[in-house]
Chain A
Amino acid sequence: MASEERTSEILDKLRQAVYDFEEDDAVKWAKTALEEGVDPFVATLEGLATGMIEAGEAYNRKEYFVPELLMCADALYAGLDVLKPAIDASGRTAEVKGSIVLGVVEGDVHDIGKNLVKMMFEVAGWTVYDLGKDVPLDKFVEEQLRTDSDVVGLSALMTTSMLAMPEVIKRIRAKNPKVRILLGGAPINPEIADKYGADGYAKTAGTAVDEAINLLKMLKEEEGRK
């Protein structure tokens, strides 16, 4: 069992490995964590995930850009691959903060932004149901109903594919009016999100999670008033 000081050092190395996008270091320090008895949950949340959150903050400050975030994500997932068997073996499950169905709408294959959003939600402790790209409109409706997710996130990069968004929103609302819907993508802005009947708009991957949390808070407040 690692001492408190040694545990703190290992967590810092994990955090730094992700932030510096050093995949080999993430693997090395994840193995060290297991060998020295650091709780794999703690190693994940206070080490790897913390590094990724800091990377997201650097992205919001325009110190990091997409290449850096993609490499941080690779380091994060490399470390998780080492820690996950130990987490599974422990039988413990993390507290789930929320659940989201994510996808790039039909007619559009640009998925880098959606993939970054997915990773930020996973790091924040959400369950993500990723439908991928070029997703048929009804698939969003079906997946939300199947998973009873709190939020649906739609992404589009083209002015043609953004036209699919109001149609998806209409179909989701028809089946489940309480679902919160979040839009993102280059041609979208808050006014268009509002016009399309969405509940929120995320300008970047870094702000998507905060926006989703705000939507959930609003939903709970509305339910509390009923």
Chain B
Amino acid sequence: MSGHKDTMTDRERVLALLDYKKPDRVPIWPFAYQGFACVYTGTSIADAYNKPKISYEAQKKTCADFGWVFTPMLGYAAYGGWELGGEIKWPSGEFAQAPTVLRHPVETPDDVMALEVPDVKTAGIVPLLKEFYDISSKEMLPNEPFNVMAFGANMSFTLAGNISGPDKLCKWMLKKPEAAHRLLQLANEHIIKLAEYWKDLYGVDGVLPLGGEPTSANQLISPANFEKFAMPYIAEVNQKFLDMGYKHLYAHICGEHNANLPFWARIPQGNPGIISIAQEIEISKAGETFPNDIILGNINPAIIQTGSPDEVYEATKKNVEDGMALSNGYVFSPGCEMPPMAPVENIRAMSQAVFDHGWY
């Protein structure tokens, strides 16, 4: 035990960081929005996505039990496949983690050119997102810096890939660039309508626009194609959010984006932005790349799942030491979604390491 005593709530800690001040200790932003919270509270992973009330209560209880920042969240990485006219499958069975696209809205470049963005209010999961945000916006708890995590920023390229399937977007970038660009324009058209819808419903105070970019990682595309096809579209959407009055945006830079970082640095994220980095990116490198932003990261989720409690504790301690050495604001977080099936004793070890070593 560290012998330190909390002098701030988690809400106050994050608000201090957003004001470029150091909190009493490192907050834990758990990236356990859906799957882990629902498994921990005894419901199903599918409930995390399609039963907003259950999902919200599961996240609230989980964050309270473990002493985490509560950022109520509903959304999924395959977003766009259903919303632009295709079909998804809810997670089922022992090993599924999230909804997946069963049928993409487009198959050919001609389909792309003919596609129109449907009414955002009834598109795919949007009615469920609204139901979730309606619940979350009604209270602001002491561990809650934002009560609406509005889906839409920092996800243009991944959304476009979900409309066509990432393999087709990859090929069209090289051989049918007009189709790739049109797909990205459609993605942005949808997101901007979504952003306007969220603002009409919830305003901007207490709202954090967010999204993630797994499909534009260098495990898939080159930095040159990130600069050409991902950066301008993400930047366009983010600037729209900021112009609408949102102060901070959240980006989950998902996967191995090291060669893309110079381009990420040119994408507006607010003052400060909140940058969640994957385990493939060094914390110090993230700090240098985003000197004015808050860095969230970045213990490897696989360690939380497969390591021993001692290994998880040591990996967390190292991560916290690296993060606290930054001049940036720093929040401890996994590098990607908390494994839904992670052993609870590992989760406790992770949290304890922050409680023991995260004091300023």
Contacts and interface: CB of A to CB of B under 8 A. Distances in A.
User: Do A and B interact with each other, yes or no?
Assistant: yes
Interface of A: 21, 62, 64-68, 70-71, 74, 105-109, 112, 115, 158-164, 186-189, 192, 195
Looking at chain B, what size class is its interface with the partner chain? 35 or more
5 contacts: A62-B218, A107-B95, A159-B341, A160-B35, A163-B95
B127 to A, nearest CB: 24
A64 B259 CA distance: 13
Contacts of A68: 174, 222
Interface in B94-142: 94-98, 100-101
A159 B301 contact: yes
B135 to A, nearest CB: 26
B337 interface: yes
A66 B302 contact: no
B340 A159 contact: yes
Contacts of A195: 306
Contacts of B91: 107
Contact of A66 (B170, B341, B342): B170
A159 to B, nearest CB: 4
Given A109-B100, A159-B305, A67 B93 contact: no
Contacts of A66: 170, 219-221
A160 B97 contact: yes
Contacts of B218: 62, 65
A161 B171 contact: no
A162 B340 CA distance: 12
A188 B305 CA distance: 11
Interface in B315-332: none
B255 interface: yes
A164 B95 contact: yes
B220 A187 contact: no
A67 B174 CA distance: 7
Contacts of A105: 95
A162 B305 CA distance: 10
Contacts of A108: 95-96
Interface in B56-115: 91, 93-98, 100-101
Interface string B274-316: 0000000000000000000000000001100110000000000
